[in-house]
Copies of this chain bind each other. A is one copy, B any other.
Amino acid sequence: MTNPMILDGKALAKKIRKELKTKTKAFQKTPGLAVILVGENPASKVYVSSKQKKAKALGWHSVLIELPSETTKEDLTQTIEGLNKDDSIHGILLQLPLPDHLSADDHIPQIVPHKDVDGFHPINVGKLALGWDGFVPCTPLGVIRILEEYDIPILGQNVVVIGRSMIVGHPMAELLLKKRASVSILHSKTRDMKEYTRNADIIVSATGILDLIGPDHLGRHCTLIDVGITRKDDGTLAGDLQYAKLLESPHCKAITPVPGGVGPMTIAMLLENTLKAFEASTR
Protein backbone atom coordinates (compact mmCIF):
# COMPACT_ATOMS: atom_id res chain seq x y z
CA MET A 1 0.00 0.00 0.00
CA THR A 2 1.25 3.44 -0.94
CA ASN A 3 0.26 6.59 0.87
CA PRO A 4 -2.48 8.70 -0.70
CA MET A 5 -1.42 11.55 -2.94
CA ILE A 6 -2.08 14.97 -1.40
CA LEU A 7 -3.51 17.17 -4.13
CA ASP A 8 -1.87 20.52 -3.47
CA GLY A 9 -4.22 23.16 -4.84
CA LYS A 10 -2.29 25.95 -3.19
CA ALA A 11 0.90 25.13 -5.09
CA LEU A 12 -0.97 24.65 -8.37
CA ALA A 13 -2.80 27.96 -7.92
CA LYS A 14 0.53 29.70 -7.33
CA LYS A 15 1.95 28.18 -10.52
CA ILE A 16 -1.12 29.29 -12.50
CA ARG A 17 -0.91 32.85 -11.13
CA LYS A 18 2.73 32.97 -12.18
CA GLU A 19 1.77 31.89 -15.70
CA LEU A 20 -0.97 34.52 -15.79
CA LYS A 21 1.54 37.21 -14.77
CA THR A 22 3.83 36.21 -17.62
CA LYS A 23 0.96 36.14 -20.12
CA THR A 24 -0.21 39.59 -18.98
CA LYS A 25 3.16 41.11 -19.91
CA ALA A 26 2.55 40.28 -23.58
CA PHE A 27 -0.23 42.87 -23.69
CA GLN A 28 0.02 46.63 -23.84
CA LYS A 29 -3.28 47.07 -22.05
CA THR A 30 -4.13 45.96 -18.51
CA PRO A 31 -6.83 43.45 -17.58
CA GLY A 32 -9.46 44.90 -15.26
CA LEU A 33 -11.57 43.07 -12.68
CA ALA A 34 -14.43 44.75 -10.82
CA VAL A 35 -15.95 43.24 -7.71
CA ILE A 36 -19.28 44.49 -6.39
CA LEU A 37 -19.86 43.91 -2.69
CA VAL A 38 -23.26 44.81 -1.25
CA GLY A 39 -23.58 44.97 2.51
CA GLU A 40 -21.48 43.85 5.43
CA ASN A 41 -21.16 40.04 5.22
CA PRO A 42 -17.80 39.40 6.97
CA ALA A 43 -17.01 36.19 5.04
CA SER A 44 -17.72 37.99 1.75
CA LYS A 45 -15.32 40.78 2.77
CA VAL A 46 -12.56 38.23 3.31
CA TYR A 47 -13.17 36.56 -0.07
CA VAL A 48 -13.39 39.86 -1.91
CA SER A 49 -10.22 41.20 -0.37
CA SER A 50 -8.40 38.01 -1.31
CA LYS A 51 -9.57 38.25 -4.93
CA GLN A 52 -8.54 41.90 -5.06
CA LYS A 53 -5.10 41.21 -3.63
CA LYS A 54 -4.39 38.41 -6.09
CA ALA A 55 -5.51 40.51 -9.07
CA LYS A 56 -3.33 43.42 -7.96
CA ALA A 57 -0.36 41.09 -7.50
CA LEU A 58 -0.61 40.35 -11.23
CA GLY A 59 -0.38 44.07 -11.93
CA TRP A 60 -4.03 44.21 -12.94
CA HIS A 61 -6.56 46.97 -12.64
CA SER A 62 -8.69 45.88 -9.70
CA VAL A 63 -11.77 47.78 -8.59
CA LEU A 64 -13.84 47.16 -5.49
CA ILE A 65 -17.26 48.74 -5.44
CA GLU A 66 -18.71 48.62 -1.94
CA LEU A 67 -22.40 49.38 -1.72
CA PRO A 68 -24.36 49.80 1.53
CA SER A 69 -26.66 46.97 2.60
CA GLU A 70 -29.72 49.17 1.92
CA THR A 71 -28.78 49.52 -1.79
CA THR A 72 -31.88 49.44 -4.00
CA LYS A 73 -32.47 47.20 -7.00
CA GLU A 74 -32.25 50.29 -9.22
CA ASP A 75 -28.90 51.37 -7.78
CA LEU A 76 -27.37 47.93 -8.19
CA THR A 77 -28.72 47.76 -11.74
CA GLN A 78 -27.07 51.10 -12.53
CA THR A 79 -23.78 49.99 -11.04
CA ILE A 80 -23.75 46.83 -13.15
CA GLU A 81 -24.72 48.72 -16.30
CA GLY A 82 -21.93 51.21 -15.68
CA LEU A 83 -19.37 48.41 -15.44
CA ASN A 84 -20.81 46.72 -18.54
CA LYS A 85 -19.96 49.88 -20.51
CA ASP A 86 -16.58 50.53 -18.85
CA ASP A 87 -13.84 49.53 -21.33
CA SER A 88 -11.22 49.28 -18.58
CA ILE A 89 -13.20 46.46 -16.92
CA HIS A 90 -13.13 42.99 -18.48
CA GLY A 91 -14.52 40.88 -15.67
CA ILE A 92 -17.43 41.73 -13.36
CA LEU A 93 -18.10 39.79 -10.21
CA LEU A 94 -21.18 40.29 -8.07
CA GLN A 95 -20.23 38.85 -4.69
CA LEU A 96 -22.93 36.54 -3.30
CA PRO A 97 -24.94 36.29 -1.13
CA LEU A 98 -26.79 39.59 -1.62
CA PRO A 99 -28.84 41.15 1.19
CA ASP A 100 -32.32 39.60 1.45
CA HIS A 101 -34.18 42.37 -0.39
CA LEU A 102 -32.06 41.84 -3.52
CA SER A 103 -32.13 38.75 -5.75
CA ALA A 104 -29.13 37.27 -7.56
CA ASP A 105 -31.58 36.00 -10.20
CA ASP A 106 -32.46 39.61 -11.03
CA HIS A 107 -28.94 40.97 -11.17
CA ILE A 108 -26.65 38.19 -12.45
CA PRO A 109 -28.39 38.28 -15.88
CA GLN A 110 -27.68 42.04 -16.04
CA ILE A 111 -23.95 41.41 -16.33
CA VAL A 112 -23.02 41.24 -20.04
CA PRO A 113 -22.18 37.58 -20.72
CA HIS A 114 -18.68 38.37 -22.03
CA LYS A 115 -17.74 39.96 -18.68
CA ASP A 116 -19.46 37.28 -16.58
CA VAL A 117 -16.23 35.73 -15.25
CA ASP A 118 -18.14 33.80 -12.56
CA GLY A 119 -20.02 31.93 -15.31
CA PHE A 120 -23.38 32.38 -13.59
CA HIS A 121 -25.29 34.14 -16.42
CA PRO A 122 -28.03 31.89 -17.90
CA ILE A 123 -26.44 32.06 -21.34
CA ASN A 124 -23.12 30.86 -19.94
CA VAL A 125 -24.94 28.11 -18.03
CA GLY A 126 -26.56 27.06 -21.32
CA LYS A 127 -23.27 27.17 -23.21
CA LEU A 128 -21.60 24.94 -20.65
CA ALA A 129 -24.40 22.39 -21.00
CA LEU A 130 -24.06 22.54 -24.78
CA GLY A 131 -20.27 22.28 -24.65
CA TRP A 132 -19.90 25.69 -26.32
CA ASP A 133 -17.22 28.20 -25.45
CA GLY A 134 -18.24 30.52 -22.62
CA PHE A 135 -17.42 31.21 -18.98
CA VAL A 136 -17.46 28.30 -16.57
CA PRO A 137 -17.85 28.69 -12.78
CA CYS A 138 -14.45 28.90 -11.09
CA THR A 139 -14.65 26.21 -8.41
CA PRO A 140 -15.53 23.24 -10.67
CA LEU A 141 -13.03 24.54 -13.22
CA GLY A 142 -10.41 24.44 -10.46
CA VAL A 143 -11.32 20.85 -9.58
CA ILE A 144 -10.82 19.73 -13.18
CA ARG A 145 -7.44 21.47 -13.27
CA ILE A 146 -6.33 19.66 -10.10
CA LEU A 147 -7.37 16.29 -11.56
CA GLU A 148 -5.50 17.06 -14.79
CA GLU A 149 -2.40 18.30 -12.97
CA TYR A 150 -2.12 15.00 -11.09
CA ASP A 151 -2.96 12.86 -14.15
CA ILE A 152 -6.10 11.44 -12.60
CA PRO A 153 -8.19 9.97 -15.43
CA ILE A 154 -11.79 11.17 -15.89
CA LEU A 155 -13.01 9.53 -19.11
CA GLY A 156 -15.09 6.42 -18.37
CA GLN A 157 -14.62 6.76 -14.61
CA ASN A 158 -17.42 6.50 -12.06
CA VAL A 159 -17.70 9.96 -10.55
CA VAL A 160 -19.98 10.97 -7.71
CA VAL A 161 -20.81 14.65 -7.21
CA ILE A 162 -22.47 15.45 -3.88
CA GLY A 163 -24.40 18.72 -4.00
CA ARG A 164 -26.39 20.21 -6.88
CA SER A 165 -25.80 23.96 -6.48
CA MET A 166 -25.39 26.18 -9.55
CA ILE A 167 -22.05 27.38 -8.15
CA VAL A 168 -20.37 24.01 -7.67
CA GLY A 169 -22.29 20.72 -7.96
CA HIS A 170 -24.25 21.38 -11.13
CA PRO A 171 -21.46 22.85 -13.28
CA MET A 172 -19.08 20.23 -11.82
CA ALA A 173 -21.33 17.47 -13.16
CA GLU A 174 -21.49 19.23 -16.55
CA LEU A 175 -17.70 19.45 -16.85
CA LEU A 176 -17.21 15.83 -15.84
CA LEU A 177 -19.88 14.72 -18.30
CA LYS A 178 -18.19 16.65 -21.12
CA LYS A 179 -15.03 14.72 -20.25
CA ARG A 180 -17.14 11.56 -20.50
CA ALA A 181 -17.18 10.35 -16.94
CA SER A 182 -20.23 8.42 -15.75
CA VAL A 183 -21.64 11.03 -13.39
CA SER A 184 -23.99 10.57 -10.43
CA ILE A 185 -25.39 13.65 -8.74
CA LEU A 186 -26.37 13.13 -5.09
CA HIS A 187 -27.89 15.51 -2.55
CA SER A 188 -29.86 15.74 0.67
CA LYS A 189 -32.70 13.60 -0.73
CA THR A 190 -30.42 10.72 -1.73
CA ARG A 191 -31.49 7.55 0.04
CA ASP A 192 -28.13 5.85 0.49
CA MET A 193 -24.99 7.64 -0.61
CA LYS A 194 -22.82 4.58 -0.03
CA GLU A 195 -24.55 2.73 -2.87
CA TYR A 196 -22.86 5.28 -5.09
CA THR A 197 -19.67 6.23 -3.29
CA ARG A 198 -18.47 2.64 -2.87
CA ASN A 199 -18.40 2.19 -6.66
CA ALA A 200 -16.80 5.60 -7.27
CA ASP A 201 -13.38 6.28 -8.74
CA ILE A 202 -13.71 9.99 -7.93
CA ILE A 203 -15.89 11.73 -5.32
CA VAL A 204 -16.42 15.49 -5.33
CA SER A 205 -18.17 16.62 -2.17
CA ALA A 206 -19.64 20.13 -2.08
CA THR A 207 -22.12 20.22 0.78
CA GLY A 208 -20.54 22.18 3.62
CA ILE A 209 -21.51 19.36 5.99
CA LEU A 210 -18.55 18.74 8.27
CA ASP A 211 -17.12 15.19 8.19
CA LEU A 212 -19.83 13.92 5.82
CA ILE A 213 -17.59 11.39 4.07
CA GLY A 214 -15.46 8.83 5.90
CA PRO A 215 -13.55 5.61 5.13
CA ASP A 216 -16.77 3.60 5.30
CA HIS A 217 -18.01 5.38 2.16
CA LEU A 218 -15.19 4.00 0.01
CA GLY A 219 -15.09 0.69 -1.81
CA ARG A 220 -12.49 1.33 -4.48
CA HIS A 221 -9.19 3.10 -4.93
CA CYS A 222 -10.74 6.54 -5.03
CA THR A 223 -9.78 10.19 -5.52
CA LEU A 224 -11.45 12.53 -3.04
CA ILE A 225 -12.10 16.20 -3.74
CA ASP A 226 -13.32 18.39 -0.90
CA VAL A 227 -15.21 21.55 -1.84
CA GLY A 228 -16.86 21.98 1.56
CA ILE A 229 -15.61 24.58 4.00
CA THR A 230 -16.74 24.79 7.61
CA ARG A 231 -15.18 26.94 10.32
CA LYS A 232 -14.98 24.83 13.44
CA ASP A 233 -15.49 26.06 17.02
CA ASP A 234 -11.74 26.22 17.53
CA GLY A 235 -11.50 28.62 14.58
CA THR A 236 -9.83 26.18 12.19
CA LEU A 237 -11.23 25.33 8.75
CA ALA A 238 -12.33 21.85 7.73
CA GLY A 239 -14.24 20.27 4.88
CA ASP A 240 -16.79 17.57 4.01
CA LEU A 241 -14.15 14.84 4.25
CA GLN A 242 -12.91 13.11 7.41
CA TYR A 243 -9.43 13.99 6.21
CA ALA A 244 -7.24 12.34 8.87
CA LYS A 245 -9.20 9.09 8.82
CA LEU A 246 -9.35 8.97 5.04
CA LEU A 247 -5.59 9.39 4.82
CA GLU A 248 -5.34 6.02 6.60
CA SER A 249 -7.81 4.25 4.27
CA PRO A 250 -6.38 1.76 1.77
CA HIS A 251 -9.07 2.98 -0.66
CA CYS A 252 -7.88 6.59 -0.63
CA LYS A 253 -5.85 7.12 -3.79
CA ALA A 254 -5.62 10.91 -3.63
CA ILE A 255 -7.21 13.65 -1.55
CA THR A 256 -7.44 17.45 -1.36
CA PRO A 257 -6.78 19.10 2.02
CA VAL A 258 -8.89 21.91 3.51
CA PRO A 259 -7.53 24.55 3.47
CA GLY A 260 -5.01 24.47 0.63
CA GLY A 261 -6.95 22.26 -1.80
CA VAL A 262 -9.80 23.53 -3.95
CA GLY A 263 -10.08 26.96 -2.28
CA PRO A 264 -6.99 28.62 -3.78
CA MET A 265 -7.88 27.17 -7.19
CA THR A 266 -11.20 29.04 -7.23
CA ILE A 267 -9.44 32.41 -7.21
CA ALA A 268 -6.82 31.24 -9.72
CA MET A 269 -9.62 30.22 -12.11
CA LEU A 270 -11.38 33.57 -11.56
CA LEU A 271 -8.17 35.28 -12.65
CA GLU A 272 -7.85 32.94 -15.62
CA ASN A 273 -11.45 33.67 -16.66
CA THR A 274 -10.73 37.38 -16.36
CA LEU A 275 -7.66 37.08 -18.59
CA LYS A 276 -9.78 35.15 -21.08
CA ALA A 277 -12.37 37.95 -21.09
CA PHE A 278 -9.56 40.50 -21.48
CA GLU A 279 -7.93 38.62 -24.36
CA ALA A 280 -11.28 38.35 -26.16
CA SER A 281 -11.74 42.13 -25.79
CA THR A 282 -8.39 42.83 -27.48
CA ARG A 283 -9.31 40.85 -30.61
| A156 and B190 form a contact (CB under 8 A) | yes
B105, B130, B173, B199: the one within 8 Å of A125 (CB): B130
- CA gap between A123 and B130 in the complex, in Å: 11
Q: Which residues of B lie under 8 Å from residue A185 when comparing CB positions?
A: 173, 177, 182-184
| B182 and A182 form a contact (CB under 8 A) | no
| Chain A binding surface, main DSSP class | mixed
Say whether A170 faces chain B, with CB atoms less than 8 Å apart: yes
Oligomeric state, in copies: 2
Say whether A107 faces chain B, with CB atoms less than 8 Å apart: no
Mask: chain A, 137-161; 1 = CB below 8 Å from B; 0 = not:
0000000000000000001111000
- CA gap between A184 and B180 in the complex, in Å: 13
Given contacts A123-B122, A199-B195, contact A130 B166 (CB under 8 A): yes
Say whether A189 faces chain B, with CB atoms less than 8 Å apart: yes
CB nearest neighbor in B for A160: B184
| B123 and A158 form a contact (CB under 8 A) | no
Q: Which residues of B lie under 8 Å from residue A102 when comparing CB positions?
A: none
Given contacts A122-B123, A185-B177, A185-B182, contact A191 B130 (CB under 8 A): no
Given contacts A182-B189, A185-B177, A190-B182, contact A127 B132 (CB under 8 A): no
| A182 and B184 form a contact (CB under 8 A) | yes
Say whether A76 faces chain B, with CB atoms less than 8 Å apart: no
Q: Which residues of B lie under 8 Å from residue A155 when comparing CB positions?
A: 189
Say whether A124 faces chain B, with CB atoms less than 8 Å apart: yes
| A196 and B182 form a contact (CB under 8 A) | yes
CB nearest neighbor in B for A127: B122
- CA gap between A108 and B181 in the complex, in Å: 27
Mask: chain A, 172-194; 1 = CB below 8 Å from B; 0 = not:
01000100111111110111000
- CA gap between A66 and B195 in the complex, in Å: 51
B125, B127, B158, B195: the one within 8 Å of A191 (CB): B158
CB nearest neighbor in B for A129: B125
Q: Which residues of B lie under 8 Å from residue A180 when comparing CB positions?
A: 187, 189
- CA gap between A97 and B105 in the complex, in Å: 34
- CA gap between A52 and B282 in the complex, in Å: 48
| B126 and A158 form a contact (CB under 8 A) | no
